Amino acid sequence: MQKLKQIYEGKAKKLYETENADLLIQEFKDDATAFDATKRGTIMNKGVINNKLSEKIFGLLEKAGIPTHFEKRLNDREMLVKKVKIVPIEVTIRNIVAGGMAKLLGLEEGIILKEPVLEYHYKEDKLHDPLINDYHIKALGVATEKELETIAKYSFKINEILNKFFDSKSLILVDFKLEFGRYKGKVILADEVSPDTCRLWDKTTKEKLDKDRFRRDLGNVEEAYQEVLRRVLE
């Protein structure tokens, strides 16, 4: 598939047009940012690792009946994806208190939630991706009721599938963020699923094996991403 014009560059990925108007090439970069890109760095080989991890997880989800933008992996850093219109909402699912939820509610990290929590954040860096609810989303026309129902249904199902999958790899899925896009009248999963977008803790030691190592300067960031890839592909 030939790579044509670059149409987007985000913090971790670039998108290119292809000769097929319905398909794009998604390229994963090694750049890492945190706190609305006020912290910047590079995680060596992150792009290669996240491309392969996303391929595996999108494949797993498709098999379980979740439609995704994934078509196929092209090489180390690129995958072919469907061209979607991103719904400007970040969907977060939390199984264990960490990060933003610990801060928002003054809670200790590590509390196991009685049931998964779904959060919507409005995707707008200059507002720091504020927490919003389904009433905001519907009232402002960000998504329709039917789209939101689909998004919530898919998100909880993805949580079930990924919880089981990561558990089989001795990893705890603490929380994760999803993005959805519109494609030919339907909502499908887009973006990526990787240690950039999931908190993953080792089941035995509770060691953090995700982007929190970069956010919090914990060291061995690349090693943690490599370890997740090794376990996932095992």
Residues binding ligand ASP (CB under 6 A): 11, 33-34, 36-37, 211, 215
C-beta nearest to ligand ASP: residue: 33
- Closer to ligand TMP by Cβ: residue 166 or 176: 176
The binder of 69, among ligand ASP, ligand TMP, none, by C-beta within 5 to 8 A per type, is: none
How many angstroms separate the CA atoms of 86 and 209, rounded? Answer: 28
Position among 14, 177, 208, 213 found at the interface with ligand TMP (CB under 6 A): 177
Q: Which does 176 bind (CB under 5 to 8 A by kind): ligand ASP, ligand TMP, none?
A: ligand TMP
Residue nearer to ligand ASP on the CB measure, 27 or 147: 27
Interstrand relation of 186-189 and 131-132 (parallel, antiparallel or unpaired): unpaired
Question: In the bound complex, what is the minimum distance in angstroms from residue 176's beta carbon to ligand TMP?
Answer: 5
Report what 33 binds from ligand TMP, ligand ASP, none; CB cut-off 5-8 Å by kind: ligand ASP
**Residue 183 CB, nearest approach to ligand TMP (Å):** 21
Q: Nearest 5°: CA angle at 50, between 46 and 55?
A: 155
197 binds ligand TMP, rule: CB under 6 A: yes
Q: What are phi and psi of 130, to 5 degrees?
A: -65, 150
Q: Give the nearer residue to ligand ASP in terms of CB position, either 78 or 90.
A: 90
The CB-of-4 to ligand TMP minimum distance in angstroms stands at 28
Which span sits near ligand TMP by CB under 6 A: 21-29, 66-74, 144-152, 191-199?
A: 191-199
Among 198, 221, 224, 228, binds ligand TMP (CB under 6 A): 198
The residue ranges that bind ligand TMP (CB under 6 A) are 92, 98-101, 175-177, 196-199
